[in-house]
Structure 1
Amino acid sequence: MKQTKTKLPILKYFLISVFLSLPLVLFFCLQLRKPSSVVLPVGKSLPENLIAGEPDLRIRPGYKSYESYIQRQLNKTLNPRLRKIWTTRDWDRKIQVFSRFFADLKRQGLLSNSSRCLCVGARVGQEVEALKRVGVSSSVGMDLVPYPPLVVKGDFHHQPFDDETFDFEFSNVFDHALYPEKFAGEIERTLRPGGVCVLHVAVSRRSDKYSANDLYNVEALVRLFRRSEVVHVRKVDGFGLDTEVAFRKKTGS
């Protein structure tokens, strides 16, 4: 009889402890079941627009690591069929279109023959060749895969150039940036004060399946270029991209 009375308090305290620990157990179970769309390598943080919930610039889901993102971009850049098209059928056509774009920028005084130029995400370098054909000889392209002598190897999230290297930068691959704020920041870092950046972007239409982000309003792009002022925004017909945005880096920034 005394043994039974001793066991009852122990059982009572055990049941109370189980009851009190249930909420904690449920919390950890729910945390373990939460999906993680982006698991980033050491040293990388989530894109700012995902954290801030920027409604006009959205990162596409599905990248489990930065390496998987890079591999997806390489799948396009190294695609033998696409590379053959870029270097044969599309070569002259794209150079002619880019030459018209750059000649117009020269007329506006945003580009000159003495400008030191970088084409960001140039693939096989049609943009670089176009710059050379309109008289801008000091021009180079940058892409994940080099294409000598027009394109050197580099990641636009971390350009392999010193600060204030270029007078002019052009890109039509903003939609491929997984970290749009790093893309913009690297352009502003490597652009000299007073230098010009021109981007061709898709706003009213969606980009291709290899794009990492979708831009819904030019204002979201403008907010990324914190050290620059807008020169102009205008409509263009640039191989599926519909808007040209020109920035000038502020002096003293």
Structure 2
Amino acid sequence: MKAHLAKLPLILKPFVLFLLLSLSVLALLSLQTPRHSLSTTAAAAEEELPSDLKIRPGYASYDAYLQRQLNKTLNPKLREIWTTRDWDRKVKVFSQFFDNMKQRGLISNGSKALSIGARVGQEVAALKRVGVNDSVGIDLVPSPPLVLKGDFHHQPFDDETFDFEFSNVFDHALYPRKFVGEIERTLKHGGICVLHVLLSRRADKYSANDLYSVKPLEKLFKQSELVEVRTIDGFGLDTEVVFKKK
């Protein structure tokens, strides 16, 4: 290398030396740069969602997400409202929803039913009121005897447990794939899932995602077929989406 440099014109020698030094530094840096871990790749895959479904930014960790959800669920003023002033009104409206679902053949008195994100259990009370007595709810904070403690990203139930699952908190899912995956895991073959969602505008400040059409749901429910979509007026939610597990 020194012999070749000696033969170069004097004016080119500084340029060539600078180029060689730069290449050496780049090579050294490339060896020291850490590679992405498998967990990072997996997390990125979770975020690769259909364009009409957006995850809201701002969560530094899953624990931070859970704490934000608990801030709402454990709010003493809200819990008092849910169990007193709102109780009869919401149980009545949910009873009308579930009675209509019975008339459409989506659920029966003999169904084993789950309400996902049930908070204090208004939906479960409504299911029992219309005759679906084998019903239970899950939420981060339990409300015995209607609601068990459970994270909807990892349901505390065995595979193929339920005939019917209902949720109006899809917008609270930080990981929509896991949310749907757990529904399909715990639904029996031929089982029904009904979601009440908001499509016309952004959901409330506690929401973790924003859904702008039904198409993302069709893609997420890989083991189920779309049965029905209809407009509703459900406590700020405007669309009912029905899936049947194949």
Could you state the TM-score of these two structures normalised by the residue count of structure 2? 0.86
The answer as to 2:124 corresponding to 1:128 is: yes
The answer as to 2:47 corresponding to 1:50 is: yes
Identify the residue that residue 64 of structure 1 maps to in structure 2: 60
Aligned partner of residue 101 in structure 1, secondary structure: helix
The answer as to 2:165 corresponding to 1:162 is: no
The answer as to 2:210 corresponding to 1:214 is: yes
Aligned partner of residue 48 in structure 2, secondary structure: helix
1:171 to 158, 167, 170: 167
Identify the residue that residue 85 of structure 1 maps to in structure 2: 81
Shift of 1:51: 2.7
Shift of 1:222: 1.2
Cα distance 1:157–1:149, how it changes in 2: closer, same or farther (>3 A)?
same
Cα distance 1:152–1:43, how it changes in 2: closer, same or farther (>3 A)?
farther
Identify the residue that residue 37 of structure 1 maps to in structure 2: none
1:107 to 103, 107, 113: 103
Aligned partner of residue 46 in structure 1, secondary structure: helix
The answer as to 2:231 corresponding to 1:235 is: yes
The answer as to 2:229 corresponding to 1:226 is: no
1:188 to 184, 191, 198: 184
Tell me the distance in 1 between the aligned counterparts of 2:157 and 2:44.
Answer: 23
Shift of 1:81: 1.1
Tell me the distance in 2 between the aligned counterparts of 1:44 and 1:113.
Answer: 45
Shift of 1:135: 0.7
Q: Check whether the contact 1:120–1:156 (CA below 8 A) recurs between aligned residues.
A: yes
Equivalent residue pairs, number:
232
Cα distance 1:208–1:50, how it changes in 2: closer, same or farther (>3 A)?
same
Aligned partner of residue 43 in structure 2, secondary structure: coil
Identify the residue that residue 38 of structure 1 maps to in structure 2: none
1:19 to 3, 19, 22: 22
Identify the residue that residue 95 of structure 1 maps to in structure 2: 91
Tell me the distance in 2 between the aligned counterparts of 1:129 and 1:191.
Answer: 21
Aligned partner of residue 217 in structure 1, secondary structure: coil
Tell me the distance in 2 between the aligned counterparts of 1:46 and 1:215.
Answer: 20
RMSD: 2.8
Give unpaired runs (5+ residues) of structure 1: 1-10, 33-41
Cα distance 1:123–1:212, how it changes in 2: closer, same or farther (>3 A)?
same
Identify the residue that residue 145 of structure 1 maps to in structure 2: 141
Q: Give the partner amino acid of 1:223.
A: K
Q: Check whether the contact 1:116–1:166 (CA below 8 A) recurs between aligned residues.
A: yes
